[in-house]
Amino acid sequence: MDVLLQGMRAAAEPTRLRILALCAHGELSVSQLVQILRQSQPRVSRHLKLLVEAGLLERHREGNWALYRLSKGGESADLARTLVDLIPPEDTVLSRDLERMEGVKAARAEYAAEYFRNNADEWNTIRSLHIDNDKIESALKDLLLEKPIQDFLDIGTGTGRVLELVSRHVGSAIGVDTSVEMLAFARAMIEREGLTNCEVRQADMYQLPFADGRFDAVTFHMALHFSEDPVAAFTEAARVLKPGGRLIVVDFLPHDMTSLRDDHAHHWLGFEETDIAEWFKVSGIVQAKPLPLPGRPLSVCLWSGRMAANDRNQSASVSPKAKGSFS
């Protein structure tokens, strides 16, 4: 009863109800809400504080920004969605707000598009060195969808392509990355494609902001070669997996293309299968048979495994420096 009353008191104000309606359509920062609502930053911030305290909105940081969205779990989340659904769709104030929101989204999409234009040559160069990307994605999708997935996590999500690939086959999907620019691109894609069950967050692969046993499946898609400590990354991924949950790693087999390290910040020049097998083992994950996809000059491999029910707390004790693959 107390949660319900607190939520109703927080929402019982015109601007706060408008904010709830806007945040039901996507994540927004304080400055973006200021643009849409045509109100001062201090006033908007006070409204947001009350809505977050009542559990109607969620807040998370991304670089210098704080982003807000409708809460997704618990009694307060149900109340927030009910209140938004009760707002008449023909309401003139809300209609104007949504029109201005479209302008904000367009500006965000243009920012993401500019980042892509500036980096497209680099991504296309790397893609040209290995097997066709469609074949990799098809193999990944086949592995992921062997069993139903409710909660999915993609670590090092980049442009959010893996989220787009699986969005219609999972209950909810979260992508994390450290790059604000990449997250802006992924968020614009999510909005453009209408992937309402997907979201992205800024997070460190070694310290994920999720509870133990949260996800049915976790992926590293062309992300692990940027890691300085893959054992720590494996262990953290294992921590957030449910018992029986699956970890899938898509990355390069060992190669000698030092230009990828020098020009593209790859920390690892591919991975030995024996090292990956050891990292699965120390993370408490039972590995399945690897799926290599030969290419020239770069070969890709999909490694997968399932979290053993009784090994969640097993800690890593192996050096991350793989034999012959680290440079």
209 pLDDT above the threshold of 90? yes
pLDDT at position 271 is: 94
pLDDT, tens digit, 9 for 90 and up, residues 68-108:
989 887 788 889 989 999 988 889 999 999 999 988 888 87
Residues 171 and 215 reside in one and the same domain: yes
CA distance 118 to 248: 30
Q: 45 with 167, same domain? A: no
Q: Where does the pLDDT of residue 17 fall: very low under 50, low under 70, confident under 90, or very high at 90 and above? A: very high
Q: Is residue 22 part of a domain?
A: yes
Question: Is the residue at 314 inside a domain?
Answer: no
In this model, does residue 134 exceed pLDDT 80?
Answer: yes
Q: What is the pLDDT of residue 305?
A: 96
pLDDT tens, residue by residue, 38-61? 999 999 999 999 999 999 999 988
Please spell the DSSP secondary structure of 59-108, one letter per residue: EEEETTEEEEEE--SSHHHHHHHHHHHHS-TT-HHHHHHHHHHHHHHHHH
In a domain, 317, yes or no: no
Q: Does residue 170 lie in a domain region?
A: yes
Same domain as 154, residue 74: no
What pLDDT score does 220 carry? 97
Same-domain pairing of 38 and 173: no
Mean pLDDT, to the nearest integer, of 144-155? 94
DSSP reduced 3-state for 136: helix
**Strand 57-62, strand 65-70: pairing:** antiparallel
Q: If pLDDT is split at 50, 70 and 90, which confidence band does 219 have? A: very high
Q: Are residues 158 and 251 in the same domain?
A: yes
What is the reported pLDDT for 116?
58
Q: Are residues 80 and 155 in the same domain?
A: no
Clarify whether residues 137 and 52 are in a common domain: no
Rounded to an integer, the average pLDDT of 205-228 is 94
Which tens digit of pLDDT belongs to each residue from 228-287? Answer: 899 999 999 999 999 999 999 999 999 988 888 887 788 899 999 999 999 999 999 999
What SS3 state is found at 316?
A: coil
Q: Are residues 59 and 175 in the same domain?
A: no
pLDDT surpasses 70 at 325: no
d(CA 212, CA 235) in angstroms, rounded, equals 11
Say yes or no: 285 and 162 in one domain.
yes
Q: What is the pLDDT of residue 42?
A: 94
Q: What domain range is 146 assigned to?
A: 122-307
Separation between Cα atoms, residue 97 and residue 9, nearest integer Å: 22
Q: Is 222 left (phi over 0), alpha (psi -120 to 50) or beta?
A: left
- Confidence band for 327, pLDDT divided at 50, 70 and 90: very low
Domain at 74, CATH number: 1.10.10.10
315, pLDDT greater than 50: no
Higher pLDDT, 183 or 174: 174
237, 207 contact by CB (below 8 A)? no
Q: What angle do CA 318, 323, 326 make, to 5 degrees?
A: 95
Count structural domains, the chain.
Answer: 2
pLDDT at residue number 193: 92
- What pLDDT is recorded for position 117? 67
* Mutual angle of helices 14-23 and 30-37, in 10-degree steps: 120
Residue 1 has pLDDT above 80, yes or no: no
Residue 162 lies in a domain: yes
SS (H, E, C) 17-51: HHHHHHHCCCCEEHHHHHHHHCCCHHHHHHHHHHH
In this structure, are 138 and 233 located in the same domain?
Answer: yes
| 71 plus 127 within the same structural domain | no
User: What's the average model confidence in pLDDT over 113-131?
Assistant: 67
Average pLDDT over all residues of the chain: 87
For residue 216 the two structure tokens come to 């049915």
| Backbone dihedral angles phi then psi of residue 92, each to the nearest 5 degrees | -70, -40
